[in-house]
Chains A and B, each alone.
Chain A
Amino acid sequence: MRADLRCAEARIEISARLDGEADDASAGLLDAHLAVCAACRRHEDELATTRRALRLQPVGAVPDLADSIMERIDKERGRRSRRTEWASRWRIAGIAAAVATLLLIASLPEIERPTGVARAGEIAGEVRLAARSLEGYAARFEITERGWHEDVGVRHFSATMSFDAPERLALKVRDLTTYPGPRRWPQNDVDVIANARRYWIKEPSFCPPSALPGCVASPAQEQRSIVHRGPFDGTSALPTDIVVPLETLASTGSFAVLGTEGVAGRSAYHIALPYRRAVPLIDSLRAGGSWRSFHPLDRVDIWIDRGTWFPLRYSVAAGSSQDRRAWARNEAWHDDAAGEVLYEVEAVHFAERESFGSGLFDAPRRGIVRSGGFSASAFPASTSGVPATTAGLEPYRAGATGDGRRVLAYADGMTWLKVVTERHRPSRPSASPPGTAEEIAIESGNFVYYQPATEMLKRRIDIYGRSSHIHLESNLSRRRLLAVAASIGARGRRAGRVERSGGYSVRRVDAGRSFWFAARAEYLPPSYGQSSALLSRSNAPGRTLTAYYGAPEAEYEGFGVRITQSSAIGTLAPSAEDGLRSFELDGVTHRWSTERGELEWIERVPRAGGAERSVYRAVAVPSFDLTTALRIAEGLR
């Protein structure tokens, strides 16, 4: 017994001594004990190994939360602006102290930023630069896909890609899978050829006779061509994120840098992000044909070359949540196991290139032919409706669309900008901004409407002038695109009522000012901000506020986050939807729809005079999960 006790005491001292915190008085006793006790010596080794493992823990990516913290501090201070604070401080401390503080702020070293953030910012910046300087590129990839069909298991493909900036591209995907017999499976071979004027795709038919006997009439392969193609046409967008993942890595808040690793003998950054933010890269080699789908929160890993910023390897792995399982059942991906790699692409060869074989980018005119209606012309001599600055992009193509809108396109490497102008009589405004667009005042009385990138379209700005509607689209960053829009010199009108018909009206409002709960949405995903808010009324009593929140640069797989509050609805109406679940939280019945990704509840809100009223509230997160919805809902209480 005594010996055990001494070991127990000795071991605590051993642990403390590793930290330099041992009791000096017992040092001699401890050494004497270790000299005779092999078990404690072994224990010392184990503790030292464990301690080392902990201390060598990689830091990983640390988010930059300073802006959102300071926003909350501002709210905490009862909405007194920081400027007022400055003014009072100025008076108290005097000019000298203020100048000293300014100098101190200016001299704060860069290294004070958490390393993970600095690296994400640095990578996004390097990728943007690479996208500008890239002239041409050729590469070969190997693709592995799991779970496409329960009888097939794994499919293998090879892909070759040639790209001549900004708009010439040839992609060839070949299906190398050995399909199980005797059934004849559709061969998933895909060809895409594009140049400035024409786009052509050949892919397996949506109704292949080999798979479905009812499809006798249709051929196994289908071809479509677009002729008179306008510059950077969204309906025939080129899958260029495989070259340099400009869109996927557009916003620093959307990915984590896990470290540097060697891939195929090259040094690569290892980056992780959810599929919902990596759609442009993951879907680039899946531009046509039949492929399996992924859940928005499935994990994507990318290894990007540190010298050229080409992706060397990337993969998608299945997530593990219940929402994900319900989704997989719905989409019939029954065999997905949590964490399993479902899709993997590896570059087996790549090179920057300046010249290509003749005819490589000659897109045939075959199959179903559609006209883009674009006719080229020279760049206009006038400066009206022309941006004074184009963020360094050079004039590339100009012309007009079939319905008479003027198109000006600018490019540098892979980076491009398009300015489309439509003239109309002042009495007949042509269009109004979509409800989800963000209203931005670039100066007093001059408004523009901004929308982040989607799967098909890049970042867009609309300016609704007195006699013109100017539409900008670009893969420049939001900040740069705003600068270009500001340089056009057209004054944009503020949108009033969005819609009014049959006793029903929808009006764009500043939700942050008039609805405390919308401004207090604190638990949004990182980098999310309010994009717009709409107030709707009908003839019936009550009104409904819908506030949209989005990521600044891009929003794939849906609209981001939507919060709804309505005094027009007093109960949760019964629904026939599948996957609807109810539960109690703080004595309030909540309802979660897996299909819509929306959490709904009726809240009792106190009224002046002690009475209460019922208010409907909902948080929709179509590309997140219930945990995110609950977190946002918590912040609204």
Chain B
Amino acid sequence: MEEPDPQTVMAARGGDVRAFEQLVRRYQGDVWRLCRHLVGDASAADDATQDAFVRAYRFLPRYRGEAKFSTWLFSIARNCARDELRRAGRRQRVADSLGRDRASLPADETLGVEVREALIALPLELREPIVMIDLFGTSYREVSALLKVPEGTIKSRVHRGRELLAISLAPESQEGSGEG
């Protein structure tokens, strides 16, 4: 992913709202897509994205440029997505206790629905590296820094994630064919 102009980041750090707005406009799409794939639901992704930028604004003075800006922003977004998943879980429990299932009409689902569903069924610790690597082309090293997990672990999680995805995306006839 492209990095912003360092001057824009500097200006935003110094409290320049217009500079921060440039960063919002530049990265909102990527942050939203990341959240969308982590939380699975479009309106929850809206909330997580908004939270992420508010938090980024709050934490920006502490950003010293040790990581790439996009990596730093993604790690915030990832935490917000996790918070949103917790909140959504709570809402879901309330809804479940009233005997209802998932909210109707996610307005933007039709394309790639199978892949997306398979992805959202993965455990979060496998889903996170897969989304970052396959959907955003982030390097293993960056993901390792972002998730604070050794690179070797990322490597095996990506493999395990792909393996599970391959199983759930395989046509039914292949199921149980096993190793020959």
**Which one of A255, A525, A583 lies within 8 Å of B94 (CB-CB)?**
A583
Q: Assess whether A324 is interfacial by the CB under 8 Å rule.
A: yes
Residue on B nearest A526 in the bound complex, by CB: B46
Contacts A15-B162, A54-B119, A72-B54 hold; do A592 and B98 have CB atoms under 8 A apart?
yes
Interface of B is mostly: helix
Within 8 A of B (CB), among A616-637: 625-628, 630-631, 634
Given contacts A69-B24, A259-B111, contact A63 B32 (CB under 8 A): yes
Alpha-carbon separation in the docked complex, A273 to B46 (Å): 17
Whether A19 pairs with B133 at a CB distance below 8 angstroms is yes
Evaluate contact between B179 and A39: CB separation under 8 angstroms. Answer: yes
**Given known A39-B180, A54-B130, A320-B102, contact A61–B108 (CB-CB < 8 A):** yes
**B97 engages A583 (CB within 8 Å):** yes
Residue of A nearest to B140 (CB): A21
Contact of A625 with B103 in the complex, beta carbons under 8 Å: yes
Contact A299-B107, Cβ < 8 Å, known A50-B162, A101-B19, A631-B91: yes
- Indicate whether A321 sits within 8 Å of B103 (C-beta atoms), given known contacts A62-B32, A76-B58: yes
Contact of A65 among B49, B87, B99, B139 (CB under 8 A): B49
> B108: which A residues are within 8 A, CB to CB?
60-61, 256, 258, 272
**Across the two chains, which residue of chain B brings its CB closest to A60?**
B108
A367 at interface by CB-CB < 8 Å? no
Whether B115 lies near A54 (C-beta < 8 A) is yes
B29 to chain A, nearest CB (A): 4
Given B14, B19, B25, which contacts A112 in the complex, CB threshold below 8 Å?
Answer: B25
The residue from A49, A55, A255 contacting B166, defined by CB atoms under 8 A apart: A49
Say whether B115 contacts A299, CB under 8 Å: no
A211 at the interface (CB under 8 A from B): no
Instruction: Return A16 CB to nearest CB of chain B, in Å.
Output: 5
Q: Known: A12-B156, A57-B135, A299-B104. Contact between A108 and B22, CB under 8 A?
A: yes
Most A Cβ at <10 Å: residue of B53, B99, B103, B179: B103
Q: A86 in the interface, Cβ–Cβ < 8 Å?
A: yes
Is A58 part of the contact surface with B, judged by Cβ < 8 Å?
yes
User: What 0/1 readout, one digit per residue, does chain B (87-112) give for beta carbons within 8 Å of chain A?
Assistant: 10001001101111111110110111
Q: Would you call A16 and B155 a contact (CB within 8 A)?
A: yes
A576 on the B face (CB < 8 A): no
Closest B residue by C-beta to A295: B104
List the B side residues contacting A46 at CB < 8 Å: 166, 170
Instruction: Report B-chain residues with C-beta under 8 Å of the C-beta of A73.
Output: 17, 20, 53-54, 57
Contacts of B33 in A (CB 8 A): 59, 62
B53:A19 contact, CB within 8 angstroms? no
Give the size range of A's interface with the partner. Answer: 35 or more
Tell me if A431 is interfacial: C-beta within 8 Å of chain B. Answer: no
- What separation, in Å, do the CA atoms of A73 and B59 have in the docked complex? 12
With CB as the reference atom, state the residue of chain B lying closest to A108: B22
Closest partner residue, chain A, to B55 (CB atom): A76
CA of A58 to CA of B116, assembled, Å = 10
Q: Are B18 and A105 in contact (CB under 8 A)?
A: yes
Contact B28 A50 (CB under 8 A): no
**In the assembled complex, A266 has its CB within 8 A of some CB on chain B:** no
Residue pair A70, B24 in contact (C-beta under 8 Å): yes
Judging by beta carbons under 8 Å apart, are B26 and A112 in contact?
A: yes
List, in ascending order, chain B residues with CB within 8 A of A57's CB. 112, 115-116, 135
B165 CB–A CB distance under 8 Å: yes
User: Does B61 reach chain A (CB closer than 8 Å)?
Assistant: no
| A69 vs B16: C-alpha distance when bound (angstroms) | 15
Contact A63 B21 (CB under 8 A): no
Residues of B within 8 A of A634 (CB): 87, 91
Say yes or no for A198: interface residue by CB 8 A criterion: no
Q: What's the Cα separation between A58 and B94 when bound, in Å?
A: 33
Contacts of B116 in A (CB 8 A): 57
Q: Is A297 engaged at the interface, CB distance under 8 Å to the other chain?
A: yes
A51 within 8 A of B: yes
Q: Please state if B110 and A297 are interface contacts (CB–CB under 8 Å).
A: no
B11 at the interface (CB under 8 A from A): yes
Instruction: Judge if B75 is at the interface, Cβ distance under 8 Å.
Output: no
A405 at the interface (CB under 8 A from B): no
Q: Give the CA-CA distance A12 to B108 in the complex, in Å.
A: 34
Cβ of A68 under 8 Å from chain B? yes
Q: Which residues of the partner chain A approach B26 to less than 8 Å between Cβ atoms?
A: 112
Question: Is B150 close to A, CB under 8 A?
Answer: no
CB pair B104 A625 closer than 8 Å = yes
Q: Knowing A59-B33, A72-B54, A626-B98, say if A47 contacts B24 (CB, 8 Å).
A: no
CA A522 – CA B50 in complex, angstroms?
Answer: 10
- Cβ B50 vs Cβ A69 within 8 A: yes
Interface residues of A in 64-90 (CB under 8 A from B): 64-66, 68-70, 72-74, 76-77, 82, 85-86, 89
Residues of A within 8 A of B166 (CB): 46-47, 49-50
Assembly CA distance A128 to B161 (angstroms): 46
Q: How far is the CB of A625 from chain B (nearest CB, A)?
A: 6
Known A-B contacts A21-B139, A54-B115, A631-B91; A626 and B105 likewise in contact (beta carbons under 8 Å):
no
Q: Write the nearest CB–CB distance from B156 to chain A, whole angstroms.
A: 5
B68 at the interface (CB under 8 A from A): no
Chain B residue contacts of A270, Cβ below 8 A: 110
Indicate if A500 sits at the interface (CB-CB under 8 A).
no
CA distance A82 to B100 in the complex (A): 44
Which of A15, A76, A321, A583 contacts B104, CB < 8 Å?
A: A321
Query: Which interface residue of A63, A72, A108, A592 has the most chain B CB atoms within 10 A?
Result: A63
Closest to A114 in B: B29
Bound-state CA distance A525–B43 (Å) is 8
B47 nearest in chain A by CB position: A523
Name the residue of chain A whose CB is nearest to the CB of B97.
Answer: A583
B98 touches A322 (CB 8 A): yes
Residues of the A chain whose Cβ atoms lie less than 8 Å from the Cβ of B159: 11-12, 14-16, 47
Would you give 21 A-B contacts (Cβ < 8 Å), ordered by A?
A: A47-B159, A49-B166, A50-B166, A53-B165, A54-B130, A62-B32, A66-B21, A66-B25, A70-B24, A85-B16, A101-B11, A112-B25, A272-B107, A272-B110, A298-B104, A526-B46, A581-B98, A583-B98, A585-B94, A627-B95, A634-B87
Q: Which residues of B contact A (CB under 8 A)?
A: 5, 8, 11, 14-22, 24-26, 28-29, 32-33, 42-43, 46-47, 49-50, 53-54, 57-58, 87, 91, 94-95, 97-105, 107-108, 110-112, 115-116, 119, 130, 133-135, 139-140, 155-156, 158-159, 162-163, 165-166, 169-170, 179-180
- A89-B14, A522-B50 are known; give 9 further A-B pairs, CB within 8 A: A16-B158, A54-B134, A59-B33, A60-B112, A61-B108, A62-B32, A63-B46, A525-B43, A583-B97
Q: Which A-B residue pairs are the 5 nearest by beta carbons?
A: A322-B100, A319-B104, A114-B29, A15-B159, A256-B108
